[in-house]
Amino acid sequence: MLRVGSTLPEVDFSLLVDGEITNPGTNELFSEKRVVVFAVPGAFTPTCSHSHLPGYIALADKIKAKGVDSIICLSVNDAFVMDAWGKANNAEHITMLADGNAFFTSQVGLDMNTSNFGGVRSLRYSMLVEDGEVKQLNVEDPGRFEVSDAESMLKSL
């Protein structure tokens, strides 16, 4: 499982840019950058839509003022869903990144099987990554939302 000090695996993600699917890799997203990532079990789901994403949207400027180059919202959804969710929430300062096949999520050991509810999904977590290395990692216990929120991340920066 991913932990502080781990280097992120090289994986290609999906991102909708100007209506076109792009596939940025880990290196492109994290190399020589300071990045905050927060992962959610699914776009448009209750806690994710009402608390997790809105918190990062509201505090994006303050987080970036702490020397963060980008904020990434990661979910095991496709790029079209992530783009629509971002637009529905005015998340223009957040990169809405899709891990549609859960390749990254599984490789870092932060996946969970929700069975018939949604299949393989991500655990809820946040992390600070500097040049591809995990500097902070805040993984929620299932069904909780206490340590991966935007306010906690901002305080830790």
What's the pLDDT tens digit per position in 6-31? 999 999 999 999 999 999 999 999 99
Q: What pLDDT is stored for residue 47 in this prediction?
A: 84
**Helix, strand or coil for residue 74?**
strand
Q: Is the pTM of this model over 0.75?
A: yes
pLDDT digits (tens, 9 = 90+) for 33-57: 999 999 999 888 878 888 999 999 9
Starting at the edge strand that comes first in sequence, how are the strands of the sheet with 133-139 ordered?
95-98, 70-75, 34-40, 125-130, 133-139
State the CB neighbour count (10 A cutoff) for residue 26. Answer: 18
For residue 137, what are its two tokens?
Answer: 């990692």
Q: Which residue has the higher pLDDT, 116 or 19?
A: 19
CA separation (Å) from 131 to 7, 35, 41, 148?
9, 8, 25, 21
Mean pLDDT, rounded, for 65-85: 97
So which residues are the catalytic ones?
A: 48
pLDDT digits (tens, 9 = 90+) for 101-113: 999 999 999 998 7
Question: Is a pLDDT exceeding 70 seen at residue 116?
Answer: no
Domains delineated in the chain = 15-156 (3.40.30.10)
